[in-house]
């Protein structure tokens, strides 16, 4: 004598379909979240010419089912631009005034004055990425996702 318990075949089939669709649903959720994070980060980014904000994008890794969002790794004066904006820049050597003139559309006099001021005073931090993370974390968690915030100077 023995007892046998079986699951409803339709329920089992439905669960199997759901399990096979889970990675795609998760990837879609991550992609939608990445688009929102990118939008918020662009809103939080400083706006001088718009060039920096337009460099912010997202990279979706469908194999790892993850997204990375941030500015490109453009280097300005030996450091990624995003890091210099986020953390600031210590006083020291003046940035090339010609680069300031070209990047921000300044006159020669304005660019030279800006370079001198940066050399003397540095640039204060503008933690746009940290503000973005703090704003988006509740939305990310509400979607059942996890988020981390990291600034790297490796390029």
Please report whether residue 137 resides in a domain: yes
Predicted TM-score (pTM) of this structure: 0.71
Please report whether residue 54 resides in a domain: yes
**Helix (H), strand (E) at residue 55:** none
Please report whether residue 116 resides in a domain: no
Dihedral sign (CA 63, 64, 69, 70):
negative
Please report whether residue 147 resides in a domain: no
Please report whether residue 73 resides in a domain: yes
Cβ-count burial of 2 within 10 angstroms (0-12 exposed, 13-18 middle, 19+ buried)?
exposed
Mean pLDDT by 10 residues, the chain (155 residues): 67 76 84 92 81 86 85 73 85 84 85 90 91 91 84 57
Please report whether residue 27 resides in a domain: yes
Number of domains composing the chain? 1
User: Contact 71/82 with Cβ under 8 angstroms?
Assistant: yes
Owning domain of residue 62: 9-89+124-142
Please report whether residue 148 resides in a domain: no
Among the residues of the chain, which ranges form H helices?
9-44, 51-54, 81-87, 97-104, 108-121, 128-142
Instruction: Using the structure block, give the residue that is written with the tokens 């979607």.
Output: 143
Please report whether residue 3 resides in a domain: no
């Amino acid at each position: 004598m023995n007892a046998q318990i079986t699951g409803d075949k339709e329920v089992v089939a439905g669960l199997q379909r759901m399990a096979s669709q889970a990675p795609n649903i998760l990837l879609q959720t991550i992609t939608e979240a990445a688009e929102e994070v990118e939008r918020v980060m662009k809103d939080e980014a400083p706006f001088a010419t718009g060039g920096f904000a337009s460099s912010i994008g997202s990279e979706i890794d469908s194999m790892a089912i993850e997204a990375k969002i941030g500015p490109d790794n453009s280097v300005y004066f030996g450091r990624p631009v995003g890091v210099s904006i986020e953390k600031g820049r210590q006083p020291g050597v003046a940035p090339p005034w010609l680069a300031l003139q070209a990047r921000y559309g300044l006159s020669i006099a304005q660019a030279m004055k800006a370079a001198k001021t940066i050399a003397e005073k540095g640039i204060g931090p503008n933690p746009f990425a940290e503000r973005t993370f703090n704003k988006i974390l509740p939305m990310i968690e509400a979607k059942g996702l996890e988020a981390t915030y990291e600034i790297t100077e490796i390029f």
